[in-house]
């Protein structure tokens, strides 16, 4: 079983941003030393979430400070990047890291319209922008000259240099939720990541992904590789006692949710509201914390003593998960608290699955 480390950290004030960025570099380097196979970066803007903001530039710093761990994006918000520029930056990152880049792609946040407004955009055409970006990335990484005439981008590129180390390019991941998306990504042979999927649904969704892989005509070795890399994202918090872990994680999640709801109310346009189908008890502002927090603890979190978290990981493994992405930091969580939990997980839980 492989374990990835994921950051979705928050800096509580502009005065702390530089210190928090340095701490994230320390945490990513610690993840490599503890034996995590990959580190994953998120992308948000303007409010202190994903405090480095520019995940690609931050990844270049990690590429220089690490040697083995793969560096992934969960996810690149494609509308905020010119696709030729994005292709060039990712190709360079693949060279700097000697082929250690994984690229999760998304059409942009469905909750934070202010991020689109801040880039002079709207989320209304985000799906179409993402589709163009994917086409241009794949053509640019071929190393051949190409011309592209789309709705949003019209480019003529002699050839992209440097080419990525990984050929035909860094793996392009998709974030999936619906059953149809699992099957479609399998048919296309795309690596996938998913979050907050109940244990009871994991085996069913993984079977749909494998059904898609078979329908797409992928050979057994490819199917096994992609199923092994399919990643499940969970909050992970390990403490000395079960009560301590539950109390501390619940408080951290409540602080995270309060910030999330505040910035959306403060900065989203007055006429914007997320599509109803995208809401769940965690993201719906009409749901009280005494419902939202237990929901996340139950459906999206592994927490407790090392022994209890080991049992929870074993339950996921039994359901078919072979790649677990561990978010160990929540909101403005103190650095030392995060590191202590990371060490307990890396030293007392992970070795049991090797």
pLDDT tens digits, residue range 99-145? 999 999 999 999 999 999 999 999 999 999 999 999 999 999 999 99
Q: Give the tokens for residue 18.
A: 């530089």
Q: Give the tokens for residue 135.
A: 């086409």
With beta carbons less than 8 A apart as the criterion, state whether 59 and 91 touch.
no
Q: Is the pTM of this model over 0.95?
A: yes
Distance, CA of 308 to CA of 196 (rounded, Å):
19
Give the pLDDT of residue 119: 98
Give the pLDDT of residue 352: 97
CATH architecture of 2-256+297-353: Alpha-Beta Barrel (3.20)
Give the pLDDT of residue 354: 85
Map tokens 């994953």 to a residue: 40
Which residues of the chain carry a pLDDT beneath 50? none
Distance, CA of 135 to CA of 83 (rounded, Å):
9
Distance, CA of 177 to CA of 189 (rounded, Å):
17
Grouping H, G, I as helix, E, B as strand and the rest as coil, residue 193 is strand
Distance, CA of 239 to CA of 30 (rounded, Å):
18
- Report the DSSP pairing between strands 146-149 and 154-157: antiparallel
Half-sphere exposure (Cβ direction) of 10: Cα atoms closer than 13 Å: 15
Give the pLDDT of residue 196: 81
Q: What contacts 335, CB < 8 A, 6 or more positions away?
A: 23, 26, 27
Give the pLDDT of residue 319: 96
Give the pLDDT of residue 206: 97
Distance, CA of 87 to CA of 296 (rounded, Å):
35
């Amino acid at each position: 079983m492989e374990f990835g480390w994921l950051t979705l950290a928050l800096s509580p004030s502009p005065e702390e941003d530089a210190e928090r960025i340095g701490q994230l570099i320390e945490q990513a380097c610690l993840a490599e030393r503890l034996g995590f196979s990959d580190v994953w970066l998120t992308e948000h803007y303007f409010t202190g979430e994903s405090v480095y903001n520019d995940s690609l530039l931050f990844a270049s710093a990690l590429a220089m400070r690490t040697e083995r761990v793969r560096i992934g994006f969960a996810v690149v918000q494609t509308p905020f990047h010119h696709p030729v520029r994005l292709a060039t930056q990712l190709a360079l990152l693949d060279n700097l890291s000697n082929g250690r880049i994984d690229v999760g792609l998304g059409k942009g946040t469905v909750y934070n319209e202010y991020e689109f407004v801040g880039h002079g955009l709207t989320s209304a055409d985000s799906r179409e922008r993402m589709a163009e970006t994917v086409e241009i990335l794949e053509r640019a990484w071929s190393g051949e000259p190409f011309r592209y005439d789309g709705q949003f981008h019209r480019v003529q590129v002699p050839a992209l240099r440097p080419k990525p180390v990984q050929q035909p390019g860094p793996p392009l991941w998709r974030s999936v939720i619906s059953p149809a998306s699992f099957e479609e990504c399998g048919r296309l042979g795309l690596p996938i990541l998913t979050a907050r999927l109940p244990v009871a649904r994991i085996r069913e969704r993984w079977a749909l992904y494998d059904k898609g892989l078979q329908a797409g005509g992928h050979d057994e070795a490819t199917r096994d590789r992609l199923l092994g890399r399919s990643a499940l994202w969970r909050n992970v918090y390990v403490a000395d006692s079960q009560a301590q872990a539950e109390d501390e994680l619940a408080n951290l999640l409540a602080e995270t949710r309060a910030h999330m709801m505040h910035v959306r109310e403060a900065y989203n346009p007055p006429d914007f509201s997320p599509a109803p189908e995208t809401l769940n008890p965690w993201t719906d502002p009409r749901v009280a914390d005494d419902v939202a927090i237990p929901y996340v603890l139950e459906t999206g979190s592994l927490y407790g003593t090392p022994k209890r978290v080991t049992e929870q990981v074993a339950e996921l493994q039994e359901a078919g998960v072979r790649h677990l992405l561990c978010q160990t930091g929540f909101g403005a969580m103190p650095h030392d608290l995060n590191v202590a939990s990371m060490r307990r997980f890396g030293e007392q839980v992970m070795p049991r699955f090797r």
